[in-house]
């Protein structure tokens, strides 16, 4: 996790709550589609899929 202010502390707190099962979070399909769209000029489709799979 990058330390980008002013949201770092809040993000870290949310992450800790999720890791201890005190909170559940959900993401939409766009969470994965947007980065794939942005990096498609840099990587092949196969590499993009591999990178996205590693986020599980």
- pLDDT for the residue numbered 24: 93
- pLDDT for the residue numbered 35: 79
- pLDDT for the residue numbered 1: 60
Residue pLDDT tens, the chain, 56 long: 667 788 899 999 999 999 999 999 888 888 878 877 888 888 888 988 888 788 76
- pLDDT for the residue numbered 2: 66
Query: What secondary structure does DSSP assign to 1-56, as a single string?
Result: ----TTTHHHHHHHHHHHHTTS------THHHHHHHHHHTTTS-HHHHHHHHHTT-
- pLDDT for the residue numbered 9: 92
């Amino acid at each position: 996790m990058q330390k980008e202010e002013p949201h770092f502390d809040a993000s870290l707190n949310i992450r800790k709550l999720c890791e201890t099962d005190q909170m559940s979070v959900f993401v939409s399909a766009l969470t994965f589609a947007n980065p794939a769209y942005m990096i498609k000029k840099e990587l092949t489709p196969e590499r993009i899929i591999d990178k996205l799979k590693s986020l599980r």
